[in-house]
Chain A
Amino acid sequence: MRVLNHPILGKLERKKIVTITVDGKALQAFEGEPIIAALLANGIRICRKTRKRGEPRFLFCGIGRCTDCVMIVDGIPNVRTCVTPVREGMKIETQIGSGKWSTSDAGN
């Protein structure tokens, strides 16, 4: 659900399209937009599940303060998706609880 035409801001400027994967599924996104915006544009509404009750969580503050929207990004858990820009080939996963490090993906 992208805002293509806007009465004040005009037409959405063309940006470079990149491919990311979310839970193994390839999706298109704009380079440099926050991960959460790419999720919204693709109709996805979950970032993580809570540790104890497994409840879903998603965007809440949108400015990197509340940490509700953290996910596992390229093997690193607890990445704030509302302030982390999309890059080509980014591997994004729904985080369960506190998440797990995947050292091979993180390049350590």
Chain B
Amino acid sequence: MLETEIAVIGAGPAGLSAAIEAAQAGAKVLLIDENAKPGGQLFKQIHKFFGSKAHRAGVRGIDIGRQLLQETRESGVKVWLNCVVWGLFEDKVLGIVHEGKSDSIKAKKIILATGASENAVSFPGWTLPGVMGAGAAQTMINIHRVLPGKRILMLGSGNVGLIVSYQLLQAGAEVAAVVEAAPKIGGYGVHASKIRRAGVPIITSHTIKEVIGESQVEAAVIAAVNKEWSLIPGTEKTLEVDTVCIAAGLTPLAELAWMAGCECMYLPELGGYVPIHNEKMESTIRGVYVAGDLAGVEEASCAMEEGRLAGLSVAEELGYLEEHEVKRRREEVVERLKALRIGPFGEQRDKAKQKLVQAWQKKLGQG
């Protein structure tokens, strides 16, 4: 069995930030990711981020990713790629498969930053080749530089649906329409305007009735929905498309947290079951921390800040940082997080996050 001070699982924005923060304080950090490359989903985000200067707004996700990787190298974080963590046991022992070989790691502190996965929407034909997650299409065009299809229908007008639609246009695909079951567009107006200017209609109060095709997508039938979300007969319209992208939100990847015994809470605003944690990002299992989409689906900017919080906390717990130093830096991060959780959606997320902290305090007290 291998040993490390801190094991961070997941090398996306949250995990990288956590690892950097803890390693800069002097802790020995092992950062593990199942993929061949670090960065999580940052490198497919080729758009500029929102927020203030402190959040690196105006910088593209891909550039933030490069910067984080450089800081990871400079701070002396040990990175293991192609390493799957398949179990988290008592006494903070991780079961892993690293480059095809089984092993186990014992860590003093564990930070889970496993991210989230895309939600599916099932309609007749949803399993046909050509129906895929919007994030999958984004991965294909922006990372692997191949088009998933020529003419695309996007389901869902949240920020992911809007941004990926625009990026599909940038990659040279045609976007037939964006359909949205709600009566209003879900994402930011600035993203919606961009695709509308490019001639893509955003059809609200509509959903996909079925996708037609023999061996792959040949067309999609959309229809209007009423207030009860039921299809209104007679409103069907057939769109000739070869690809349907689903942008219906994300669900935290909480398997390891469940396995470790972390108590979770169901909060739809944060994507589903989320591990209860305190303001230091510690779960209900002492020494196991959570950060990023696993701790509630938000944006990459939030994930990086939460990663920093978790990294600071474990470094403090291990005695690498003085209490007053941590307090000051934690306050800075909390301020930045507050600024990221404004607006109608941000406030909902903020309230849900507070519920998690309250639940933690109820269970484990102030300490």
A contact residues vs B (CB 8 Å cutoff): 1-4, 6-9, 12, 33-34, 36-37, 40-41, 45-47, 55-66, 68, 82-83, 85
Q: Is the interface of A mostly helix, strand, loop or mixed?
A: loop
Q: Please give the distance in Å from B338's CB to the nearest CB on chain A.
A: 31
Instruction: Across the interface, name the chain A residue whose C-beta is closest to B217.
Output: A45
Known: A8-B46, A9-B46. A58 touches B130 (CB 8 A): yes
Compute how far the CA of A68 lies from the CA of B131 in the bound complex, rounded to whole angstroms: 11
9 new A-B contacts at CB < 8 Å, known A1-B146, A63-B41, A63-B139: A2-B147, A3-B171, A7-B170, A36-B140, A40-B140, A45-B130, A56-B128, A60-B133, A63-B117
B 124-143 to A, binary, CB cutoff 8 A, 1 in contact else 0: 00011111110111011110
User: In the assembled complex, which residues on chain B have CB atoms less than 8 Å from the CB atom of A34?
Assistant: 144
| Residues of B in contact with A, size category | 20 to 34
B 308-325 to A, binary, CB cutoff 8 A, 1 in contact else 0: 000000000000000000
User: In the assembled complex, which residues on chain A have CB atoms less than 8 Å from the CB atom of B35?
Assistant: 63-64, 83
A61, B117: Cβ atoms under 8 Å? yes
Compute how far the CA of A62 lies from the CA of B142 in the bound complex, rounded to whole angstroms: 12
Given B142, B145, B215, which contacts A2 in the complex, CB threshold below 8 Å? B145
User: In the assembled complex, which residues on chain A have CB atoms less than 8 Å from the CB atom of B133?
Assistant: 60-62
B145, A3: Cβ atoms under 8 Å? yes
Q: Is residue B216 contacting chain A, with contact meaning CB distance below 8 A? A: yes
User: In the assembled complex, which residues on chain A have CB atoms less than 8 Å from the CB atom of B34?
Assistant: 64
**Interchain pairs with CB closer than 8 A, number:** 94
Instruction: Across the interface, name the chain B residue whose C-beta is closest to A60.
Output: B132
Compute how far the CA of A57 lies from the CA of B125 in the bound complex, rounded to whole angstroms: 11
Q: Is residue B73 contacting chain A, with contact meaning CB distance below 8 A? A: no
Q: Give the top 7 A-B pairs by smallest Cβ distance, nearest first.
A: A62-B136, A58-B129, A37-B144, A1-B147, A62-B139, A40-B146, A3-B145
Q: Please give the distance in Å from B40's CB to the nearest CB on chain A.
A: 9
A59, B140: Cβ atoms under 8 Å? yes
Q: Please give the distance in Å from B199's CB to the nearest CB on chain A.
A: 17
Q: Please give the distance in Å from B20's CB to the nearest CB on chain A.
A: 23
A6, B139: Cβ atoms under 8 Å? no
- List, sorted by A's number, 8 A–B pairs whose CB atoms are closer than 8 Å: A3-B141, A6-B170, A34-B144, A37-B145, A56-B216, A57-B127, A62-B133, A62-B135
Instruction: Across the interface, name the chain A residue whose C-beta is closest to B137.
Output: A62
Q: Please give the distance in Å from A47's CB to the nearest CB on chain B.
A: 8
User: In the assembled complex, which residues on chain B have CB atoms less than 8 Å from the CB atom of A65?
Assistant: 117
User: In the assembled complex, which residues on chain A have CB atoms less than 8 Å from the CB atom of B215?
Assistant: 45-46, 56
Max chain B Cβ within 10 angstroms of own Cβ: one of A1, A36, A68, A85:
A1
Q: Is residue B36 contacting chain A, with contact meaning CB distance below 8 A? A: yes
Q: Please give the distance in Å from B23's CB to the nearest CB on chain A.
A: 26
Instruction: Across the interface, name the chain A residue whose C-beta is closest to B47.
Output: A8
Compute how far the CA of A97 lies from the CA of B79 in the bound complex, rounded to whole angstroms: 37
User: In the assembled complex, which residues on chain A have CB atoms less than 8 Å from the CB atom of B118?
Assistant: 61
Compute how far the CA of A1 lies from the CA of B144 in the bound complex, rounded to whole angstroms: 11
A6, B216: Cβ atoms under 8 Å? no
